[in-house]
């Protein structure tokens, strides 16, 4: 009997993790559809940023209620996963509670149970905020459809997993009380003992079925969740770490200088000039009209986004009723990358880029022109996503490839070219203020 369950477990485990690895390889390939960009400067500062922002959640505190709730779920996620190690080893070895003999085991399980309870409560409050109180940034129109369902599914799955964990422990503790063989007495535990009375009077045979079912469903649920990530905004639990490593470490005000433009300008000033990294002779578009024109780093950011909407709620354009929503820009970037991934079996070489492109089809110039480049969105993101840079890349395309800036901006740029100022004053009058 035990050997069959070991085989079944191995099959389940390896197909679950194998599928997950395939998803991650696919994800990496999709992200690398973006333009190459070398980000290897200041590794120490980058590691420190990752530790502080992703592990230390340093930017969550700006909004204290979600910060506490999220902190609970985050801690629960990390600490309760120690229990998953025991579950997996039990599955492979055909043992039951392999670590039961270790000192402090009871304390450990009690800690997991308390955290599980806190997670259940926190997830409940998350659900209420999203579905009953309708917190503005969580009820925004751009979340209609899949994003909203996705958000709720995540909450349900977390409830389900925590519930099964507590149910499994309660049935286990009841079996221990009955003195069932193979159930070493290490309980009862602090939270599951509250549901244990439900099982009073049930025979051991039924309890074993309940305990085993909860155990199998729990581990199967975890493997399902792991593979659900690829389709979900919940990917942030993994990508927040690399994303904060690669996130901007310069002052937020520093916009990138376009290297291809730099090459053109340098060649204009000096025909023998060379700009490292731009040796390729294939002409590339200035700016971005699709995700393949964006740096891979922005695609990583888009996949890391958990759609919390802090960016949009801080955006001055959005607050004053303009169509721009930084979150929508990031979500559309991800959706477009996923669209390309779906319609191309192989993500190298010639790609099928049909479907709706990022610029015009998904994001309109009206949205892009509403941005004041104030950096409120980038500053608000708890994991260092930079919506402003994606907006800027598309503005560059509009101006440098399509010459379609608003008329007033064309006038402004014309006067900079002619007079060296955004207003039509003569450069010769620059020092007139000294005479007044």
Partner 1 sequence: MQTEIHIPTMAEIAAQQGQIDVLFWVGCAGSFDQRAMRITQAFASLMHKAGVKFAILGTEESCTGDPAKRAGNEFLFQMQAATNIQTLDGYGVKKIVTTCPHCFNTLKNEYPGLGGNYEVVHHTQMLQSLLDEGKLSVSGGSFKGKKITYHDACYLGRANGVYEAPRALIHHLEASFVEMKRCKSKGLCCGAGGAQMFKESEAGSAEINHVRAAEAIDTQATIIAAACPFCNTMMTDGVKKENKDTEVSVLDLAEIIHQAQS
State how far the Cα of 143 lies from the Cα of 331, in Å rounded to an integer: 10
C-alpha distances in Å from residue 155, one per residue of 69, 126, 266, 381 = 13, 8, 54, 21
The H or E element containing residue 64 is helix 64-93
From the list 43-51, 212-220, 233-241, 313-321, the region that binds partner 1 by CB under 8 A is 313-321
State how far the Cα of 53 lies from the Cα of 76, in Å rounded to an integer: 18
Q: How far is the CB of 410 from partner 1 (least distance, A)?
A: 9
**Residue closer to partner 1, measured from CB, 214 or 392:** 392
**Residue closer to partner 1, measured from CB, 3 or 251:** 251
Instruction: Quickly count: other Cβ atoms within 10 Å of residue 309's Cβ.
Output: 24
Look at residue 105 and give its three-state secondary structure.
helix
Residues 26, 45, 136, 250: which binds partner 1 (CB under 8 A)? 250
396 binds partner 1 (CB under 8 A): yes
Number of residues that bind partner 1 (CB under 8 A): 68
Considering only residues 106-165, where is the footprint of partner 1 by CB under 8 A? Answer: none
| All residues at 6 or more sequence positions from 418 whose CB lies less than 8 Å from its CB, including other chains | 424
Residues 52, 264, 274, 356: which binds partner 1 (CB under 8 A)? 264
Helix, strand, coil proportions of the chain in percent (round to 5)? 65, 0, 35
Q: How far is the CB of 299 from partner 1 (least distance, A)?
A: 20
User: From residue 326 to residue 365, what is the string marking binding to partner 1 with x (rule CB under 8 A)?
Assistant: ----------------------------------------
Query: Which tokens hold the place of 404?
Result: 């379609």
Residue bearing tokens 């085989």: 7
Residues 34, 66, 287, 387: which binds partner 1 (CB under 8 A)? 287
371 binds partner 1 (CB under 8 A): yes
Torsion over CA of 340, 343, 346 and 352, rounded to 10 degrees? -70
Q: How far does the chain reach from its first CA to its final CA, in angstroms?
A: 98
C-alpha distances in Å from residue 71, one per residue of 48, 58, 68, 155 = 20, 11, 5, 15
Q: How far is the CB of 414 from partner 1 (least distance, A)?
A: 10
Considering only residues 56-95, where is the footprint of partner 1 by CB under 8 A? Answer: 62
Residue bearing tokens 């193979």: 182
320 binds partner 1 (CB under 8 A): yes
If we measure between CA atoms, which residue out of 200, 8, 185, 38 comes closest to residue 100? 185
Q: How far is the CB of 281 from partner 1 (least distance, A)?
A: 19
**Residue closer to partner 1, measured from CB, 123 or 388:** 388
Look at residue 179 and give its three-state secondary structure.
coil
Considering only residues 88-117, where is the footprint of partner 1 by CB under 8 A? Answer: none
From the list 2-10, 167-175, 226-234, 372-380, the region that binds partner 1 by CB under 8 A is 372-380
From the list 15-23, 97-105, 210-218, 401-409, the region that binds partner 1 by CB under 8 A is 401-409
- Binding footprint of partner 1 on the chain (CB under 8 A): 62, 250-255, 257-258, 261-262, 264-266, 268-269, 286-287, 314, 316-317, 319-324, 366, 369-376, 379, 392, 395-400, 405-406, 408-409, 411-413, 416-417, 420-423, 425, 427-436
């Amino acid at each position: 009997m035990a050997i069959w369950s070991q085989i079944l477990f191995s099959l389940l485990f390896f197909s679950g993790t194998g599928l997950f690895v395939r998803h991650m390889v696919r994800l990496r390939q999709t992200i690398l559809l973006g333009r190459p960009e070398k980000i290897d400067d200041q590794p120490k500062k980058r590691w420190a940023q990752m530790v502080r922002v992703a592990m230390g959640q340093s930017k969550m505190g700006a909004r204290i209620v979600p910060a506490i709730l999220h902190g609970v779920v985050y801690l629960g996620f990390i600490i309760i996963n120690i229990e998953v190690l025991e579950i997996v080893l039990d599955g492979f070895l055909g043992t039951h509670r392999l670590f039961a003999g270790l000192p402090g085991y009871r304390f450990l399980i009690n800690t997991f149970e308390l955290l599980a309870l806190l997670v259940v409560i926190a997830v409940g409050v998350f659900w209420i905020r999203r579905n009953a109180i309708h917190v503005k940034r969580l009820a925004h129109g751009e979340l209609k459809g899949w994003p909203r369902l996705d958000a709720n599914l995540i909450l349900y799955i977390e409830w389900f997993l925590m519930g099964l964990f507590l149910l499994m422990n309660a049935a286990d503790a009841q079996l221990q009380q009955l003195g069932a063989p193979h159930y070493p007495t290490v309980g009862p535990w602090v939270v599951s003992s509250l549901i244990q009375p439900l099982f009073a009077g049930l025979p051991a045979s039924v309890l074993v079925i309940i305990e085993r079912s909860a155990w199998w469903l729990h581990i199967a649920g975890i493997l399902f969740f792991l593979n659900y990530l690829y389709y979900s905004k919940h990917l942030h639990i993994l990508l927040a770490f690399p994303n904060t490593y690669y996130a901007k470490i310069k002052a937020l005000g520093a916009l990138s200088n376009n290297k291809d433009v730099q090459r053109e300008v340098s060649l204009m000033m000096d025909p023998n000039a060379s700009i490292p990294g731009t040796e390729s002779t294939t002409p590339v578009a200035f700016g971005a009209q699709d995700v393949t024109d964006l740096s891979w780093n922005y695609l990583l950011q888009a996949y890391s986004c958990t759609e919390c909407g802090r960016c949009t709620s801080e955006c001055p354009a959005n607050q004053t009723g303009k169509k721009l929503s930084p979150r929508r820009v990031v979500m559309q970037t991800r959706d477009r990358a996923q669209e390309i991934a779906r319609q191309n079996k192989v993500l190298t070489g010639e790609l099928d880029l049909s479907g709706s492109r990022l610029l015009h089809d998904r994001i309109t110039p009206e949205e892009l022109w509403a941005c004041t480049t104030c950096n409120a969105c980038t500053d608000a993101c708890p994991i260092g996503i930079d919506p402003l840079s994606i907006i800027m890349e598309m503005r560059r395309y509009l101006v440098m490839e399509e010459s379609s800036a608003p008329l007033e901006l064309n006038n402004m740029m014309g006067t900079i070219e002619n007079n060296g100022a955004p207003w039509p004053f003569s450069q010769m009058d620059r020092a007139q203020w000294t005479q007044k």
